[in-house]
Chain A
Amino acid sequence: MRVGVLQENLAKALSVVGRAVSSRSTMPVLGNILLEARDNQLRLAATNLEIGVNCWIGAIVEDEGAITVPARLLVDFVGNLPPERVDMELSVRTQTLNLRCLKIEANLKGIDAAEFPHIPTVSEQNGPGLMDSGDGVAIELESNGLRRMVDQVVFAASSDDSRPTLTGVEVTFHNSRITMAATDGYRLSLRSAPVESALPDDKMVVIVPAKSLAEFARISADADENQPVQVLVTQSRNQILFQIWGRNQEGKGGSFHRVELASQLIDARFPDYHAIIPKTHTTRTVVDTAAFLKAVRLAILFARDNANIVRLRINPANGAANGQLSLTATSAEVGDSVNDIDALVEGNDLEIAFNGKYLIDVLSQIEQPQVLLETTQPTRPGTLRPVGMGEDEFLHVVMPMHPSR
């Protein structure tokens, strides 16, 4: 293998695949990144067997070939190189990769590429007639929209591996819509949008690990917005693949041609969340999203030593006084804080306590200037959604903290 690439592109590709590297595995090759030179592209790949990422960048290939080298060392080494051409050459006999950049030279001892696990790709699955054959299901989705959807639900998934189902996001394709739902048992984030491309006739539901979707969202921040993302669910319904197209312009920060992300699906039944979505409310509060977010960020400075408890006091307009949302947080050690923000309040006054971190998580994902909070009682769930979006488009349900007893 003999190949030349730009340092920026190589560094970008390493950042794309880097998080899929297995940090602690009994298989040493999983701690490595695969480099494969072929067809005037360099493919970089990493996998922890749950998620696998392939990234192709432009390259000048003089001799085709492949090797795996330790991820940590390669990432740190390339990250410190100047933005110039990097030449790599493999000594097949010793399985050592020689890297040169200007006057810098290094030799990295690798592991044979043949030991690296196979990561499925859309291109190999996409045999003729697949879209109609029912073998797998392939869907094209708008890249930017899909990324925003993921960002708005993925934070609500559980990070607790003892509840594996809740570490996933339920993704449903049905009636020309895609719907995503995530819950950690304390809050639920629901997002739905129309899909323009053809969908299978039958409803399709899969549970995608939240980590994989978060990785998709991170990578697709560098995607070409004009090119759709291909999403493919394999025939056996145990894997989901994403194909993301790069911006393909040589420029600062580097770029990739194409990325494919493959993830295992979670084989479980997602809890039925429809029953826990409140059907009614007794207090309806409309407030400026940025002001609300800022107020919670201030409150949590005091709340973080005390289970992040942020108390909301909601007061409807009274005579000349505007409606108000008042946030308080108290810590025995640090002190306390109160913050009043103007709000449009309809209905009863109410005091309710939430985990401030949960409020920050959802408010920071709302782009609309105003947010609607609907509540009933201090021990019943509250719902949040951006003003201007329907309940069927974006809905966040959050359980309060039980009031002090």
Chain B
Amino acid sequence: MSIPRKIIHLDLDAFFCAVEELRDPALAGKAFAVGGPPESRGVVASCSYPARRLGIHSAMPMARAVRLCPQLIIVPARHGAYSAVSRQVMARLHALTPQVEQISIDEAFLDVGDHGEPAEAIARQLQTAIRAELSLPCSLGVASNKLVAKIANNVGKAAARGDSPPNAILAVPPGEEAAFLAPLPAEALWGVGPRTAERLAALGIHTIGDIARWAEADLVRRFGKHGADLSRHARGIDDRPIVVEHERKSVSQETTFSRDVSDRALLEQTLTGQAQDVSRILRKQQLAGTTVKLKLRWADFTTLTRQTTLPQPIDDAATILATVRTLLARTWQGQPVRLIGVGVSGFAEEGARQMSLWEQPDARTERLSEVVQALRSRYGEQALRRGSDLGAAPLR
């Protein structure tokens, strides 16, 4: 038997709301939700614990949330601010160990096997540090693998009740994984959605323990390869390693048309917008790449990509556009296009890039792009669009 791993799952409690409470302490203890306004079909991105007690949850249409709680305070999302705070949290995790796998803006796995201390003690120190230094609540699950650590965290948070964030920590000691999982409902397991749960229930399987007791061969017969995973996971076995986050390998933008497009002008107009977006992201992230890619999907879902490698790294919209237009001219013969996209990859170290002789940082363009970015990060990507894009915009 090998030495058990020490895996921590960390989740920031009601993260967007926590950041908003930092901005406006008056929100503390109130029922409020971050998201779009009900009149524009907005949804709840995150809601405070008092709002949760009233039955509001994330992904719920805001209109419905307001019906449940007419006094609900609606706070527009500020994604830029959340990303910035998230980076601070992730930086603290990386300072602890390089073995960090970030799952989303507010969630990560850590492997703290290199640390001498017990994982539960490390989890407690992390929680204290993040609260003290960043004033953010978080919950942690500790176990010998990712699956059990994540479920432990969910169980720990669910056990907390009340109007304040759970600030939970739940550790499952090595060897007790199966026993910990056994009483939990089958749906608590990864990969058990409503359909699988229904089919399991038809067999009389309701808890994870029921799955663990069921013959693996029979699960495989009924559910295929998925059945084997179910059986292993139900017994608390999960060998998946921490996948250390890789540096960004490419920047791309895609558009799926609401109706297939055979009009060259419209395709090129879409590429123009995408090249500008890709360039903006590259510059913001201080990246420059040598490979420019065009992606096309025909009406029959055949997808192809064509790319060109340039002699030096670039990040400007004009070069990206000129390159994808050449690729389009070579690839496209008038067939209806369902999806079109532009990407840049092949980044040099240090983000150094060859400057152009005619490079004139245009102050007005840069200012415009900053304002557009600020508006989009506050009100969402759809808040502000080029008039020329409206014809090509996907129907929603």
Which residues of A approach B to under 8 Å, CB–CB? 159-163, 183-188, 271, 273, 276, 306-309, 331-332, 353, 355, 357, 379, 381, 397, 399-405
Contact = CB atoms under 8 A, between A and B. Distances in A.
A356 to B, nearest CB: 11
A332 B355 contact: no
Given A184-B311, A276-B358, A307-B349, 16 more contacts: A160-B310, A160-B323, A185-B357, A186-B354, A307-B312, A307-B353, A309-B348, A309-B350, A353-B352, A379-B355, A399-B354, A399-B355, A399-B359, A401-B354, A402-B355, A405-B286
A185 B348 CA distance: 19
B293 to A, nearest CB: 14
Most chain B beta-carbon neighbours within 10 Å: one of A307, A353, A399:
A307
A308 B312 CA distance: 9
A276 B355 CA distance: 13
B351 interface: yes
A186 B356 contact: yes
Of all A-B residue pairs in the complex, the 3 with the closest CB atoms, nearest first, are A307-B348, A404-B350, A162-B326
Interface string B335-352: 000000000000011111
A404 B351 contact: yes
Most chain A beta-carbon neighbours within 10 Å: one of B350, B351, B353:
B350
B353 A185 contact: no
Contact of B357 (A162, A186, A308, A331): A186
Contacts of A401: 352-355
Majority secondary structure, B binding face: mixed
Nearest to B348: A307
Interface string B357-385: 11100000000000000000000000000
A331 B357 CA distance: 26
A260 to B, nearest CB: 32
Interface of B: 286, 288, 290, 310-313, 322-323, 325-326, 348-359
A325 to B, nearest CB: 20
A205 to B, nearest CB: 20
Contacts of A309: 348, 350, 352
A276 B357 contact: yes
20 contacts: A160-B310, A161-B326, A162-B326, A163-B322, A183-B357, A186-B312, A186-B354, A186-B355, A188-B357, A273-B357, A331-B349, A355-B354, A399-B355, A399-B356, A399-B357, A401-B352, A401-B354, A402-B355, A403-B352, A405-B351
Given A185-B357, A188-B357, A355-B312, A404 B323 contact: no
A186 B359 CA distance: 9
Given A161-B326, A162-B325, A307-B290, A402 B356 contact: no
Most chain B beta-carbon neighbours within 10 Å: one of A160, A184, A357:
A160
Contacts of B351: 404-405
A376 to B, nearest CB: 13
Nearest to A306: B349
A157 B185 CA distance: 68
B333 to A, nearest CB: 15
Contacts of B349: 306-307, 331-332
Contacts of B313: 307
Contacts of B323: 160, 162
B353 to A, nearest CB: 5
Given A161-B326, A353-B352, A381 B311 contact: no
A214 B69 CA distance: 76
B332 to A, nearest CB: 15
A259 to B, nearest CB: 31
Nearest to B316: A185
Contacts of A271: 358
Contacts of A163: 322
A355 to B, nearest CB: 6
A191 B361 CA distance: 29
B311 A397 contact: no
A304 B280 CA distance: 27
A404 B352 contact: yes
Nearest to B349: A306
B247 to A, nearest CB: 11
A183 B349 CA distance: 26
Contacts of A403: 352
